[in-house]
A and B are shown apart, each in its own frame.
Chain A
Amino acid sequence: MKKIGTRIFITLGLLPLLLVLLPLFLDGTPWPVAVRNYLELNGVKDSGAINLVSSIYLGFRVFDTLGETIVLLTAVGGTIAVFTRSGAILTDGYYNSNISALTDSEKQMLLDDPSFTLAGEKRLSHVLRTHLIEVVTGVLGPVVLLFGFYLMLYGHLSPGGGFQGGVIIASGIIFLALGNRIGHVNFLTRALVLERIEACAFLLLVFASVIGTAMGEGFFTNPFNFIPGNPASFIVLLNIIIGLKVGAGIGFLCIALVGREIV
């Protein structure tokens, strides 16, 4: 009885905000076209990128993107720090790398306790399932990586871009990690390597933002303006930097999260 009373009370409390929102959703003012028209005429000429979303994301509003990258960097660092402090041990790659230090029973436990089962789930089929995952992801991993790099490098010409490419690269890295046999580590699936790539890319991004200042063009302007030809070169550069940073960061996060925890 008391529970129902609380429910009604909460609903009544939330109602005002939702009522206030309603007029905003009913408002059928036609969507403004001024910016669209401007971009249709001048967008490609100004930024050099055929993909207008890319030209906004990395050209006209690149300062937002810098902020977004910082949010990602902080969130990845913070998430991993909080997980680590709560007793999760970071491992290199998906499986614990120093397997030789374990006793036989612990090894058996590792083999028995499969990858994608949750605590308390006991089924026999899981062993087969891990083998399936190992083979398929191991083969797919490099292909996914290739696709990620394609998206990253062609972001100014076709759908895609640094961020999307970066996320696909991260999934490629996770595929590689899942495809590894126990005790094996790829170069790309080591936590330290990913951390270093991310740190370098962030440093490069911040410097890329101030190169324009040093060249006398202004904050976050294209420093390659003196080269005649395609003005999209700065967007390509930013795409690569952001792609590497996002790929390494998210890959690091995911590997840290699904990495085996032995506490």
Chain B
Amino acid sequence: MIERILLFIMIIVGFWGIVTKHNIIKKIFALNIINNAVVILFVLEGSRIGSNAPIMESGITHIVDPVPQALMLTAIVIGVCISALALSFAFRLYKITGTFDVREIKRQVHHEA
């Protein structure tokens, strides 16, 4: 219960960061943070039903749920790919406008377009 509330706060923090931070790189930080929060949520809750890692060496029973873990492998990788691509856009925008500030970029790009 307390863990879920903490994760909820983490999602609030990340979402607030995406919206209110003006620096593009910080927006990408925040995106990483909410992604991490959801990954923790899945794995943490999935591990409540067992006490052993899902590696079936002889005699192991009572394992945790392996499905959320496998799903989250995919989610982690997708998250990193998205942030790499976002960073490349940030780099390009910096090369064009000379700043990471989203308001300034918007003003300059608006002039050029």
Interfacial residues of chain B within 55-70, with CB under 8 A of chain A in the complex? 55-57, 61, 63-67, 69-70
Contact of A82 among B16, B69, B92 (CB under 8 A): B92
Chain A residue with Cβ nearest B73: A57
Contact of B95 among A11, A51, A86 (CB under 8 A): A86
Contact of B88 among A30, A83, A158, A163 (CB under 8 A): A83
Main DSSP-derived SS at the B contact region:
helix
Interfacial residues of chain A within 11-47, with CB under 8 A of chain B in the complex? 11, 14, 17-18, 21-22, 25-26, 28, 30-33, 35-36, 39-40, 43-44
Docked Cα-Cα span, A231 to B84, in Å, equals 37
Q: Give the number of chain B interface residues (Cβ < 8 Å).
A: 45
Number of residue pairs spanning A and B whose beta carbons lie under 8 angstroms apart = 122
Q: Are A159 and B55 in contact (CB under 8 A)?
A: yes
Q: Are A50 and B56 in contact (CB under 8 A)?
A: yes
Docked Cα-Cα span, A76 to B58, in Å, equals 40
Query: Which B residues fall within an 8 A CB radius of A?
Result: 1, 4-5, 7-8, 11-12, 15-16, 19-20, 45-46, 48-50, 53-57, 61, 63-67, 69-71, 73-74, 77-78, 81-82, 84-85, 87-89, 91-92, 95-96
Q: Are B57 and A50 in contact (CB under 8 A)?
A: yes
| Sample of 22 A–B contacts (CB below 8 Å) | A10-B20, A11-B16, A14-B19, A18-B15, A21-B11, A26-B4, A33-B49, A36-B64, A39-B54, A50-B56, A56-B67, A57-B74, A61-B70, A61-B71, A65-B74, A68-B78, A74-B81, A75-B81, A75-B85, A78-B88, A83-B88, A83-B92
Q: For B63, list chain A residues within 8 Å (CB).
A: 36, 40, 52
